[in-house]
Amino acid sequence: MQCCNKGSALLKPFSFTKTERIRKSSEYRILSKYGTRYYSDYFIIISRKNQFSSSRLGITVSKKVGKAVIRNRIKRIIREYFRLNRSMLPVHLDMNVIVRQPSAKLENAQLREKFGYLIKKVSQRHN
C-alpha cells in the first residue's frame, strides 16, 4: 500500500498542505487591505503576490450563505478546484475566496465552472 502513504511521490503534486493555506487573521487582514479584488455574482477573490514557494488559499463563507452542510460543500469544491488547478496560476499568489449568497443555489458542476472562470480572470491579470 505504498501508493496511499502521505509521503508518496504520486500524491505530492496534488496535495494541499498547511503551508498552502492562509491561516492567520493577520494574513487575511493584510490581503484584504493590499490585495486586488475580482468580482462575480457568486464569489469575490482578493489576491496578492506572495514571497512563498507556492500559492496559498483562504476561504471565507458567511453563515448567510446557508447551513453548515452547504458551506462545507462549497469549501470542499473550492479547495479541490484549487488543489487540482493551481498550476495554471502564473505567479505565487495569496488568494482569499469570499463566497456570496447566490452560490448556495448552484450545483457542484456549476460551482466549479463559475469559480474556474474567476480563477482564469485572476491568472490573466497577474500574468
pLDDT of residue 17: 79
pLDDT of residue 94: 94
pTM score, two decimals?
0.85
pLDDT band at 12 (very low <50, low <70, confident <90, very high): low
Strand partners, 61: 99
pLDDT of residue 80: 93
pLDDT of residue 18: 83
pLDDT band at 14 (very low <50, low <70, confident <90, very high): low
**pLDDT tens track for 37-65:** 999 999 999 999 999 888 999 999 999 99
Alpha-carbon gap, residue 30 to 72, rounded angstroms: 25
Alpha-carbon gap, residue 57 to 81, rounded angstroms: 11
19-25, long-range: CB < 8 A, 24+ apart: 19/52, 19/54, 19/56, 20/54, 20/55, 20/56, 20/57, 21/56, 21/57, 21/58, 22/56, 22/57, 22/58, 22/94, 22/95, 22/96, 23/58
Q: Which of the pair, 7 or 39, is modelled with greater confidence?
A: 39
pLDDT of residue 89: 84
